[in-house]
Amino acid sequence: MNIEDLKQHIRDVPDFPKPGIIFKDITPLLANADAFNFCIDQLVERVVRHDPDAIVGIESRGFIFGAVVATRLGLPFQLARKANKLPYRTVKVSYELEYGSDSVEMHVDAVEAGKRYAIVDDLIATGGTAAATAELIELQKGKVACFACVIELAFLAGRERLGERVIETLIDY
Ligand code: AMP
């Protein structure tokens, strides 16, 4: 298995969730044990370079990859969720979408001042979600060790939204 093989397990679904969007479907990757395992190996190898104290997974596919990376590294796992999903007191950051806005929340006690957090998601598109999660961690005085994801839609220049923060991706389109 290599990165090229991994690509074969990502399915393009045109016009989902709306016309003009090519949705990168990672369910075939998850359904193939070798591909999923290789993908986690690769994420772990990149994340560990940035010496995190904990992993933050972004809802919802970031939970799948992030949780496994966290257990592999023996690190705590924290959730960054969409609005109004977390039960306890939260901190929220909103960000602009093409039409309207969205937000991410974390529990108030999810981030410790001075600790390093590796953020994990499946994909970076415009970078809005990743940047908002990074801000959320920094608002709580945590440090962003890196943002790591499986797929980067480079043509959307999401990296620019993350500024100087470290980005690790496996597959670029
Ligand atoms: P963005 O905030 O624009 O970087 O969008 C990133 C989030 O939206 C990630 O959590 C992705 O799961 C999801 N996403 C955005 N565009 C796509 C796409 N073309 N295929 C699959 N997921 C996407």
Q: How far apart are CA 118 and CA 166, in angstroms?
A: 10
Confidence check: pLDDT of 98 > 80: no
The tens digit of pLDDT for each residue in 124-137 reads 999 999 999 999 99
In Å, what is the CA distance from 87 to each residue of 21, 90, 107, 110? Answer: 33, 8, 8, 13
Mean pLDDT calculated for residue range 62-82: 98
97, pLDDT greater than 90? no
pLDDT tens across 147-172, in order?
999 999 999 999 999 999 999 999 99
Q: Please return the burial class of 49, using the count of CB atoms within 10 Å of its CB with bins 0-12, 13-18 and 19+.
A: middle
Ligand 1 mean position to 107 CA, how many Å?
23
Total-model pTM: 0.98
CA of 115 to the centre of ligand 1 (A): 27
Instruction: Tell me what pLDDT residue 154 has.
Output: 96
